[in-house]
Chains A and B, each alone.
Chain A
Amino acid sequence: MATLEGAADQQSAAPGRHVELRRPPRLARMAGVLRAGETGAWKWGARVAVLLPFAALAFVVAVLAVKAYSAVEVNGTGFFTGAAWKIGSTYAATTRTDGVAHPVGSSYGAWPLIAGTLQTSAIAVIIALPISIGCAFALTERLPRWVSRPLGFAIELLAGVPSVVLGLWGVLTFGPALSKTLYPFIADHLPNVPVLSFFKGTVGHGEGLLTGSLVLTLMIVPIITATTADLFRQVPSLSKEGGEALGMTDFEVANRITLRWVRSGIIGATVLGLGRALGETMALVLTVGAIFQLAPNVYSPMSTIAAAIATQLDSSLTDGTGFAVASIAELALVLAVISVFVNLVARWIVHHTSRLGGPVGRGT
Chain B
Amino acid sequence: MPADVPGSRSERTEGAARPGGVASAPEGGPSQAVDSVLDALDPDRDRPANVIETHGLGLSFGSKPVLSSIDMQFGRGTITALIGPTGSGKSTFLRSLNRMNDKVVGFRHEGDATLDGRSIWDPGTDLLDLRRRVGMLFQRPNPFPMSIRDNVVAGVRAHRIAKGKQLDVVAEQRLRKVGLWDAVKDRLHDTPFRLSGGQQQLLCLARALAVGPDVLLLDEPTSSLDPISTEYIEAMLAELVPALTLIVVTHNLGQARRVSHRTMFFYDGQLVEQGPTEDLFERPTNLQTERYVMGRFG
Closest Cβ–Cβ distance, residue B104 to chain A (whole Å): 11
Which of B98, B131, B140, B207 is most buried by chain A, counting CB atoms within 10 A of its CB? B131
Contact A246 B211 (CB under 8 A): yes
Number of contact residues on A: which range applies? Answer: 20 to 34
Which A residues between 263 and 285 are near B, CB-CB below 8 angstroms? none
Query: Is B232 on the interface with A (CB-CB < 8 A)?
Result: no
Contact A238 B144 (CB under 8 A): no
Contact with A along B118-149 (1 / 0, CB 8 A): 00000000011111100110101011111100
Measured CA separation A103–B208 after assembly (Å): 76
Residue of A nearest to B193 (CB): A358
The stretch among A36-44, A247-255, A319-327 that forms the contact with chain B is A247-255
Known interface pairs A241-B100, A356-B191. Does A249 touch B128 (Cβ–Cβ under 8 Å)? yes
Which B residues between 90 and 123 are near A, CB-CB below 8 angstroms? 98, 100, 105
Residue of B nearest to A249 (CB): B128
Query: Is B244 on the interface with A (CB-CB < 8 A)?
Result: no
From A238, A239, A247, B131 is in contact (CB under 8 Å) with A247
Known interface pairs A260-B145, A358-B145. Does A246 touch B138 (Cβ–Cβ under 8 Å)? no
Contact B208 A356 (CB under 8 A): no
Measured CA separation A289–B142 after assembly (Å): 53
Residue of B nearest to A359 (CB): B193
Query: Is A245 on the interface with B (CB-CB < 8 A)?
Result: yes
Query: Is B155 on the interface with A (CB-CB < 8 A)?
Result: yes
From B129, B159, B191, A355 is in contact (CB under 8 Å) with B191
Which of A236, A246, A257 is most buried by chain B, counting CB atoms within 10 A of its CB? A246
Residue of B nearest to A239 (CB): B142
Residue of B nearest to A238 (CB): B142
Contact A357 B100 (CB under 8 A): no
Contact A247 B145 (CB under 8 A): no
Residue of A nearest to B210 (CB): A246
From B129, B138, B142, A247 is in contact (CB under 8 Å) with B129
Contact A243 B154 (CB under 8 A): yes
Which A residues between 197 and 237 are near B, CB-CB below 8 angstroms? 236
Query: Is B158 on the interface with A (CB-CB < 8 A)?
Result: yes
Query: Is B83 on the interface with A (CB-CB < 8 A)?
Result: no
Query: Is A256 on the interface with B (CB-CB < 8 A)?
Result: yes
Measured CA separation A242–B131 after assembly (Å): 11
Measured CA separation A180–B60 after assembly (Å): 55
From A144, A245, A256, A358, B98 is in contact (CB under 8 Å) with A245
Which of A245, A256, A358 is most buried by chain B, counting CB atoms within 10 A of its CB? A245
From A246, A261, A355, B207 is in contact (CB under 8 Å) with A246
Query: Is A244 on the interface with B (CB-CB < 8 A)?
Result: yes
Number of interface residues of B (CB under 8 A): 30
From A242, A247, A249, B144 is in contact (CB under 8 Å) with A242
Contact B193 A247 (CB under 8 A): no
Give chain A residues whose Cβ lies under 8 Å from the Cβ of B154: 243, 246, 248, 256
Closest Cβ–Cβ distance, residue A255 to chain B (whole Å): 10
Measured CA separation A358–B140 after assembly (Å): 15
Measured CA separation A244–B129 after assembly (Å): 11
Measured CA separation A252–B155 after assembly (Å): 10
Measured CA separation A249–B98 after assembly (Å): 14
Give chain A residues whose Cβ lies under 8 Å from the Cβ of B138: 238, 241-242, 245
Give chain A residues whose Cβ lies under 8 Å from the Cβ of B127: 247
Closest Cβ–Cβ distance, residue B129 to chain A (whole Å): 7
Query: Is B204 on the interface with A (CB-CB < 8 A)?
Result: yes
Closest Cβ–Cβ distance, residue B103 to chain A (whole Å): 8
Residue of A nearest to B136 (CB): A245
Measured CA separation A249–B204 after assembly (Å): 18
Measured CA separation A282–B131 after assembly (Å): 54
Closest Cβ–Cβ distance, residue A26 to chain B (whole Å): 54
From A236, A248, A356, A357, B142 is in contact (CB under 8 Å) with A236
Measured CA separation A247–B130 after assembly (Å): 8
Give chain A residues whose Cβ lies under 8 Å from the Cβ of B140: 238
Give chain A residues whose Cβ lies under 8 Å from the Cβ of B135: 245-246
From B105, B132, B145, B146, A246 is in contact (CB under 8 Å) with B132
Contact B142 A260 (CB under 8 A): no
Give chain A residues whose Cβ lies under 8 Å from the Cβ of B190: 356
Residue of B nearest to A355 (CB): B191
Measured CA separation A177–B165 after assembly (Å): 54
Contact B144 A260 (CB under 8 A): yes
Contact A245 B144 (CB under 8 A): no
Closest Cβ–Cβ distance, residue A245 to chain B (whole Å): 4
Give chain A residues whose Cβ lies under 8 Å from the Cβ of B144: 239, 242-243, 256-257, 260
Give chain B residues whose Cβ lies under 8 Å from the Cβ of A239: 142-145
Contact A252 B145 (CB under 8 A): no
A interface with B by C-beta (< 8 Å): 144, 236, 238-239, 241-249, 252, 256-257, 260-261, 355-358
For the complex of A and B, the 10 pairs showing the least CB-CB separation, nearest first, are A247-B131, A245-B136, A246-B155, A247-B132, A238-B142, A242-B142, A247-B128, A260-B145, A248-B158, A356-B191
Could you list 12 examples of A-B contacts with CB < 8 Å? A239-B143, A239-B144, A241-B142, A245-B208, A246-B131, A246-B132, A246-B136, A247-B158, A248-B158, A252-B158, A256-B144, A358-B193
Other than the given A246-B132, A246-B155, A248-B128, 11 more pairs (CB < 8 A) read A144-B105, A238-B142, A243-B154, A244-B100, A245-B208, A247-B128, A247-B131, A248-B158, A256-B144, A260-B146, A355-B191
